[in-house]
Chains A and B, each alone.
Chain A
Amino acid sequence: MAKRVLVVDDAIFMRNMIKDIFASGGFEVVGEAANGLEAVEKYKELKPDLTTMDIVMPFKSGIEATREIIKADSSAVVIMCSALGQESLVMEAIEAGASDFIVKPFRAEDVLAVVKKVLGET
């Protein structure tokens, strides 16, 4: 069965790109969220196998959302979507429980490589 993914990013552009990447890799994107608040709600509702999380978002940052998701489900797999220059934020997210990270601008093969590695598929 295809792994279920929740995509969190405030830009539709990014969400679409990430969704396409996952679709091309045989994943099923089961939900999207545009900010940290929505992300936590959607996570609890959908219980996805994997969540990609943008860091800079309105209302609630990706780091805070990750912290809350991990608190609710310690086995949650959250992958941070970061940009170069955000190193310290990503480390903060790792402290908060994020499993791994990908670096913008995304390349499909990199994203899928990280995701598959994290899910133990390679």
Chain B
Amino acid sequence: MTMDMSRYLGLFISEATDHLEALGRDLVQLERESSAGVVDSMFRHAHSVKGMASSMGFESIAILAHRVEDLVDAVRQDRGRLDRDVVDLLLTAADTMLAQVRAVAENTPPEDASALLTQLGNRVTAMTGQALAATRVARVTALKPAGGSSEDSDGSVVSVPARTGGAAPPAPPAPSTGTDSSGGVGGATTQVGGAKTSVEGSPEASGASSAPRSVVGMAGASVVVAGLDLPPDLLAPVVPSPDTAGSTAGAPGVDAASSAVAAVAAAMGLVAPATTDLGDGLKASAGALPVATPPAVPDARVASQRWAVRLRIAPTCQVPGVRAFLVHKRLTNLGSLVDLRPALEELKAGRIPDGYIQLELETAAGDAGIHASLKNVAEVEVISVKPAVAAPAPVVTPLPTAEGNRPANDSSSRTVRVRTELLDYFLDTVGELMLATARLREVSKVLPENTRPALEEGVYRLHTLVKDLHDKVMTARMTPLSLITDRLPRAARDIARRKEREVDLVITGAEIELDRAILDELADPLMHLLRNCIDHGLESPEERIAAKKGPRGRVLVAVKRARDRVIIELEDDGRGMDPAKLKTSAVAKGLLSVENAARLTDREAFLLSCLPGVSTAKDITDISGRGVGMDAVKRVVENVGGTLEIDSEKGRGTRFTLRLPLTVAVVHLLLVEVGEEVFGLPIAKVVGATEADGDLLSRSRETALLPHGNSLLPVHSLDTLLGVPAPARQGARPFVVMDADSGRVALAVDRLLGQEEVVLKPLSRPLDLLPGLSGITILGSGRPVFILDVPRLLSA
């Protein structure tokens, strides 16, 4: 059954015109007075037009409305983004859509909106920093011409000739866009021909990266808007796939369902179904569902029992995530879900390999109840419901695959891809569990003697399990450094070419593993250090020969594991750094006094290159002088709990040493008391602690100076820095000596409480905006403790 859309044409024209005119009025009003209500109204108008236009098969209008919707949505999130330019742009878009609607009414070709679309898209991207959504206008039903073919009456195949007449000139093959952002299904180029169209191979895949053209179809008239300069992700959903089901006019049709499936699958990184004949594609995929395993004989017990359920979301489902969520909702109404694969977050995001979901459900409803609860959910096939086996399967159990014949040594069949956010969630939750366990243990201490042992035993067991789980989660997060070092050779080559250097890059130890979160942070800093080495460190071949070195420079990236740390060394054999120059530059910038500069060791002086603005003007080149600077490198390394050291010898080269913790989550703290508050200082930055009488310290102007080793350190009072009330005190008090950006400092505290290994939790809004706090933890006593970022606290 195909709907005859021409009967809605009149209504479409009048209602779309109303919406677009209202949109224009809203815009003018909005410019006078910014209000959330008006923005919402604009969004609704654009949304309505999009829905109507896509229903009618007027893609060009639908895409434009979609972009307007995106832009209005961006404005809705932050009305400060609305300026005269945006209003102008939106007004132009509203006018253009009105003109396009008029063109539809008058049966004339619509005006080209490609430039406008690009502008809208750029604006949205600039505002939100996000790539344009690809799947939103995915499914477009082209207009059914009056008296068109009705061969698709079986209802399982979309067959919609886009137009009658077929007068359009044959279109050239669409160029493949090259960069296939769609997850690997692209590549097939769709040949769109005017007279006779045929596509072999994998039509489902054709939408992903092909033709920059859009078909506007309507009764009795047809226009091919060629050469629209659209991003391929936007085009994907609307690319016409030839209609093999007997398009009488021989014109390209839009096979809505299949291209939508492909687009959705592609956008979600799934591999589109294997090649299927387009015409029979949907029938075939429906028919090709695996034969349901006969359910095991149900257990007659009424008591709650655990059931293993396997089901599949139909491959034709446009929004498998929502479908899966509905299934989840139904089943959780029935009992408690003890195991779900893919996990809920994955399901909701639509990341469901081949549509298969397996889960274990504890319910008294029995298998009949499970079947009944899913019976009236569309697009879901229950494959099997069996009593669950007691032992839970290991996490790396292969996901069920349609083929079932993958080679056993294919690593992809033994591992599951997990999003890093999910890993973060696991770690976070395990951290919470550890804290909760510690809290329980504290509570058990105050219980009466007779009840204590039982609880303590339970808590001990819990503690062991949670610790084990924590270890496993940490293991799952470990990722080899090669993930980022693999990118270095190419980068080295590019930089060397541009700077006319010759370089050999040697990487060792890339197989060593590190917490994924740290690794992610390190990608940019490592790249920057490499650039630094090649750009500043290495001399030109001529200079090198003059300095009696080989013409080819050498950069060594060595990764080593040392107990609970990973050490990354980046070393070049170039010209080295001059500590005196760095000191002069820092003094000239007012970042350091002449006296302090004189006291710095060479090693400390090299670190001056990490102060913002110290790199000399000559250092600022098109390669190194942009983006991440040395200051950012140092900050990142320290933020993940590591340290950065620089060694250099003039004429011999420079070595950057990054010492990194294996994981971010557990940090060693020195707990200090200030007034009545407790704060944590990262041990990594603590040089030592000492006691002195604050009143007897020498002073330089306002600053007290603490003798330490053979230098005098500026003293900062932590209570003043933090604004914590603390009683004035006399006599000896403890000082913590710490590394800060411009050298060591002494922090005056009230009491040292000792060291503790804690689970670090990131701060959420608005606390994360406070400079000087790097995280929070909860002590066993239940007391929350802020972890201080001393360098930032001092500079705030």
Contacts and interface: CB of A to CB of B under 8 A. Distances in A.
Interface of A: 10-14, 16-17, 20-21, 24, 56-58, 82-85, 87, 90-91, 94-95, 100-101, 103-109, 113-114, 117-120
Given A56-B47, A58-B44, A105 B141 contact: yes
A104 B54 contact: yes
A13 B318 contact: no
Given A84-B137, A84-B318, A87-B321, A109 B8 contact: no
B43 A120 contact: no
Nearest to B152: A109
Contacts of A10: 44, 48
B325 interface: yes
B102 interface: no
B22 to A, nearest CB: 11
A95 B348 CA distance: 13
Contact of B326 (A56, A84, A100, A103): A100
Contacts, number: 115
A87 B156 CA distance: 24
13 contacts: A11-B15, A11-B19, A17-B8, A56-B43, A56-B48, A84-B138, A84-B264, A87-B348, A91-B348, A105-B55, A114-B378, A120-B375, A120-B376
B55 A17 contact: yes
A118 B48 contact: no
Interface of B: 1-3, 8, 11-12, 15-16, 19, 40-41, 43-44, 47-48, 50-52, 54-55, 133, 135-141, 155-156, 158, 256-257, 260, 264, 318-319, 321-322, 325-326, 329, 348, 350, 375-379
Contacts of A95: 329
A85 B136 contact: yes
Contacts of A103: 139, 318-319
A11 B48 contact: yes
Contacts of A105: 51, 54-55, 139-141, 256
B135 A109 contact: no
Contacts of B1: 24, 108-109
Contacts of A83: 47, 50-51, 54, 136
A107 to B, nearest CB: 6
Contacts of B40: 58
B64 to A, nearest CB: 15
A94 B329 contact: yes
A118 B326 CA distance: 12
Nearest to B155: A109
Given A11-B52, A91-B322, A105-B51, A20 B140 contact: no
A114 B319 CA distance: 14
Nearest to A105: B55
Nearest to A119: B376
B44 A13 contact: no
Given A57-B44, A104-B51, A109-B1, A117 B378 contact: yes
A113 B377 CA distance: 10
A100 B377 contact: yes
A108 B4 CA distance: 10
A114 B376 CA distance: 8
A40 B299 CA distance: 44
Nearest to B372: A120
A71 to B, nearest CB: 17
A87 B350 contact: yes
A16 B3 CA distance: 12
Contact of B135 (A11, A16, A84, A114): A84
Q: In this complex, which of A14, A82, A94, A109 has the most chain B Cβ atoms within 10 angstroms of its Cβ? A: A109
A11 B8 CA distance: 12
Contacts of B138: 84
Contact of B377 (A85, A108, A117): A117
Given A16-B8, A24-B1, A100-B377, A85 B135 contact: yes
